[in-house]
Structures are given as C-alpha cells and as structure tokens.
Amino acid sequence: MNTQDDHREYVLTSENSKLIDNILSDIRRDPKTGRLVVPALWKKEIQHLMSPNYNLAVSVLNSQKRKLSPERLKEYDAVIQNQFEDGVIERIADHPSFLRENPDVSFLAHNAVFRNNSNTTKCRVVFLSNLSERKNEKCLSHNQCSMAGANLNNKMQISTLLLRFDKYLLTYDLKKAFLQLFLREEDTRKLLFLWFNGISKNDFSIVGYRFRRVPFGMRYSPFLLMIALYYTLIHNVTDDDDEETQSIKGVCITFLTWIT
C-alpha cells in the first residue's frame, strides 16, 4: 500500500462525508423482505462509457469451460444455482431481447477460485470488474466507472487498542455479508453475467443472469457493507435509556469510528 492510500485510511474528507450523508439518506428497506436496499456507486459523468462486455463475458466463460474439469464445473454451477434459489441473482428469460431493449446494460466476466482446505467456502465465484472489452477511453471497466468510497475499516492494530477502552466486546460474522444487501432496480442492469443453462444435463447453451444483491468484487462493496452496518446498528436505532444497550451501542460506534 502506498503512502497516499495509507493516508486515506485515516482522513475522512469532506467529499467522503458528503457521500456518506447521501448514501444514508438514500438507503431504504425492501417492504417484502426487510433487507436494506443500497445504491451502487457509479461515476455519473462517465457511467455511459461503461463497456457492454458481452463478448468478453462469453470469451471468459468458454475459457472456464475448457480449463475446468467436469467436477469443478459442477461445483461452480452449484454456487450459482444456490444464489439463484436464494434470490441473490435473477434469470433473464431472453437475454438477446433484453440486450436489444436495454442498450445501456453491462456484463461482468467471472471465474472460480477453489480452496480445498477451506472448512466453509470451497468454491468462490469472483467477478472481474477490472476488465473491459476494449482498452480505450470510450470503453471503460466497471471499476473505472465506479467509486470505492471511503475506507471505513480500522487497521488491526488500531482496533486492538480501541478494544481496551470499552466494557463490552461485540463480535459477529455475517454470512455472505455483501449478498445480504439489495441493489436498486436501475443498478442491476449494469451487473449482468452469463452462465450455462444446465451443466448437470450437459446443456452448455448460454443464459443470462443479473444481480439483485451487492456482488463480491466490486470497488464499492466494502464501503456499502460498512455503511449498512452503521445504518442498522447506530443511525436507524432509537435512543434507549438502558445502560447495557447504551454500552453496546458505544462499542458499535467505536468499531465504526471512521464513519462518525
């Protein structure tokens, strides 16, 4: 990490403070599920230059098919099918027609990372948001067209020191944390991807999906997760006179110190 990036971790600029305020005012809850709905952080002035990436997505997908064994492809497919069943992603019934009707869409290429020694996630699908079809100023990647937001995570040594000053210690592990956050409808058109229709049936025809939740691998995903935690634990909680509740809330404020 260079000096500039290191400095950014400790300074909350006025620009980032304004961004945080805007995000907090824009967060809402989905009336059906109660989940938070957050906006993707696109750079509005260059968002229209985002590459469609359809041909790139097809090329990377076919490359994965050639490289991976049938067993690996089935593991890969299982992750995607689980996300479909959980409502994380949504099938596009006719993606060629969808492309014609929505010329501003963009696809994410992806690959799989396998960790045989992991006790939990053996296969993780990683979306390649740094890639675009053509490397020029009129065909930008998702990363180039998005904002990372402020770095709201304390360094480990700072967090360890802060833990000494509170009575209570709150720890938690959110299962598939990014995927707990819903995206706005208009943002999902920029987060499409391709997969095979039915690997278990040896059907390798290509179909389209789009994300309904915040995907792993986007520049803004860590920022949105921290903002959502702050919104849930502090910003949207009414005052409570109970001493223990106030103490626990104090721990949350210390944990999220860079937001406040």
Instruction: Give per-residue pLDDT as tens, 112-164.
Output: 999 888 777 788 899 999 999 876 667 899 999 999 887 776 666 666 776 77
> What is residue 171's predicted lDDT score, i.e. its pLDDT?
67
Instruction: Give per-residue pLDDT as tens, 33-64.
Output: 888 999 999 999 999 999 999 999 999 999 99
> From the CB of residue 227, how many other CB atoms can be counted at a distance below 10 Å?
26
Instruction: Give per-residue pLDDT as tens, 222-248.
Output: 889 888 888 887 776 655 545 544 444
Q: Mean of the pLDDT values across residues 204-212?
A: 94
Instruction: Give per-residue pLDDT as tens, 167-199.
Output: 666 666 667 778 889 999 999 999 999 999 999
In the chain, the amino acid numbered 8 is: R
In a domain, 150, yes or no: yes
Q: In 3-state terms, what secondary structure has residue 35?
A: coil
In a domain, 45, yes or no: yes
At residue 84's C-alpha, the angle toward residues 79 and 87, to 5°, is 125
The rounded distance, in Å, linking the Cα atoms of 94 and 75 is 25
Selection from 48, 32, 39 nearest residue 87 by Cα:
32
Q: Residue 84 class from Cβ within 10 Å (0-12 exposed, 13-18 middle, 19+ buried)?
A: middle
Domain count along the chain: 1
Confidence grade of residue 217 (pLDDT, cut at 50, 70, 90): confident
Q: At what angle do helices 14-26 and 221-230 cross, to 10 degrees?
A: 70
Q: In CATH, what number is assigned to the domain containing residue 159?
A: 3.10.10.10
Q: Mean of the pLDDT values across residues 20-43?
A: 89
Average pLDDT over all residues of the chain: 81
In a domain, 260, yes or no: no
For 167-236, the DSSP string reads S-------TTGGGGSEEPHHHHTTSEEEEEEEGGGTEEEEEEEEESBPPTT-TTHHHHHHHHHHIIIIIT
Confidence grade of residue 70 (pLDDT, cut at 50, 70, 90): very high
At residue 128's C-alpha, the angle toward residues 122 and 129, to 5°, is 135
Domain coverage including residue 132? 3-255
